[in-house]
């Protein structure tokens, strides 16, 4: 019988555990992660730097590789190319075996264990704790839009600085007026 399991999409890297989503305990403390957020914000300097990197294919490749290596170690990054970390307590939702971007499933064990990998903690339990510790729990009320699977393997930082990440999540909890689903706002 032939194997019908899909291979990784072109250009997608093997994460620390291969392409399979497995909960990863962030190696960077919540406090440092939120400090890093200030540095990485798409300000004038970052935008200009990003544009410069994107001008050369080689620079882009090098930058993407550096991002991959560092985020793999720190957050178990799988390079989805559309980073949700800034609003998930810097606990990566793509490590959830169901890749849930809007919060934990109903199967989390009493002690916070992942349903699929009981020896790991649910990425959303970890994310909620980390976000709460930094006063950012309300970020978890934003609605996350569907992932664009064409972006796998791309540098999320370059996408972020170039504004290609705009609209990944809603600006608030979406309760005041119906949130718009597509990025075609």
Partner 1 sequence: MSLRERLAAGEFTVTAELSPPRGASAAAMLSRAELLRGWVDAVNITDNQGSHVRLSSWAGAAAVKQSGIIEPIMQMTCRDRNRIALQSDLLGAGALGIENLLFMSGDHPKFGDHPGAKPVFDLDSTQLVWTARTLRDEGRLISGKQVDPAPRFFLGAVENPFAPPVEYRARRAAKKIAAGAQFMQTQYVFDVPAFARWMAELGELGVLDRCAILAGVGVIRSARMLDFLASGKVPGVQVPEPVQRRLRGVAPEDVGAEGAKIAAEVIAAVRQIPGVAGVHLLTAGYEKQTPELLRLAGVDRSALIGQAPSGD
Residue 145 · residue 183 · CB < 8 Å = yes
Residues 6 or more apart from 65 whose CB is under 8 A from it? none
Task: Please report whether residue 182 would count as binding partner 1 according to CB under 8 A.
Answer: yes
Taking contact as CB under 8 A, which single stretch among the options 64-72, 102-110, 150-158, 160-168 is the one that binds partner 1? 102-110
Which residue do the tokens 């720190």 mark? Answer: 74
Contact flag: residue 8 with partner 1 (CB under 8 A): no
Residue from 12, 36, 40, 100 in contact with partner 1 (CB under 8 A): 100
Q: Applying CB under 8 A, which of residues 71, 78, 101, 130 lies at the interface with partner 1?
A: 101
Kindly state whether residue 130 participates in binding partner 1, applying the rule CB under 8 A: no
DSSP secondary structure string for all residues of the chain: -------PPTTPPP-EEEES------SS-HHHHHHHHHHHS--HHHHHHHHHHHH-HHHHHHHHHHHHHHHHHHH-----SS--GGGTTT--GGGSTT--SSS--TT--TTSB-SSSTTSB-HHHHHHHHHHHTT-GGGGGSPBPPP-GGGTTS-HHHHHHTTTTTTSB-SS-S-SSPPP-SS--
Q: Work out which of 39, 57, 58, 175 binds partner 1, going by CB under 8 A.
A: 175
Residue 115 interacting with partner 1 (CB under 8 A): yes
Q: Min. distance of Cβ 23 from partner 1 in angstroms? A: 13
Q: Find the part of the chain contacting partner 1 (CB under 8 A) among 24-32, 35-43, 68-76, 112-120.
A: 112-120
Q: Using CB under 8 A, which of the segments 33-41, 64-72, 75-83, 135-143 binds partner 1?
A: 135-143
User: Residue 76 or 127: which CB sits closer to partner 1?
Assistant: 127
Binding site for partner 1 (CB under 8 A): 4-6, 97-112, 115-116, 122, 124-125, 128-129, 132, 137, 140-141, 143-147, 149, 173-175, 178-179, 181-182, 184
């Amino acid at each position: 019988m032939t194997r019908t399991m899909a291979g990784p999409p072109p250009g997608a890297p093997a994460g620390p555990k291969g392409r399979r989503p497995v909960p990863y305990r962030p190696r960077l403390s919540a406090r440092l992660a939120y400090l890093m957020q200030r540095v990485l914000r798409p300000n004038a300097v970052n935008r200009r730097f990003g544009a410069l990197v994107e001008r050369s294919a080689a620079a882009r490749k090098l930058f993407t590789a550096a991002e991959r290596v560092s985020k793999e170690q720190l957050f178990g990054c799988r390079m989805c190319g559309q980073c949700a970390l800034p609003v998930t307590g810097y606990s990566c939702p793509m490590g959830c075996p169901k890749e849930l971007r809007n919060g934990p499933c109903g199967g989390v064990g009493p002690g916070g264990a992942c349903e699929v990998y009981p020896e790991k903690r649910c990425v959303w339990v970890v994310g909620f704790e980390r976000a709460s510790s930094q006063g950012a729990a309300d970020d978890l009320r934003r609605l996350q839009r569907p992932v664009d699977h064409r972006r796998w393997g791309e540098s999320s930082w370059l996408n972020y600085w170039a504004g290609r990440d705009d609209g990944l999540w809603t600006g608030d909890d979406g309760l005041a007026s119906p949130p718009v689903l597509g990025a075609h706002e």
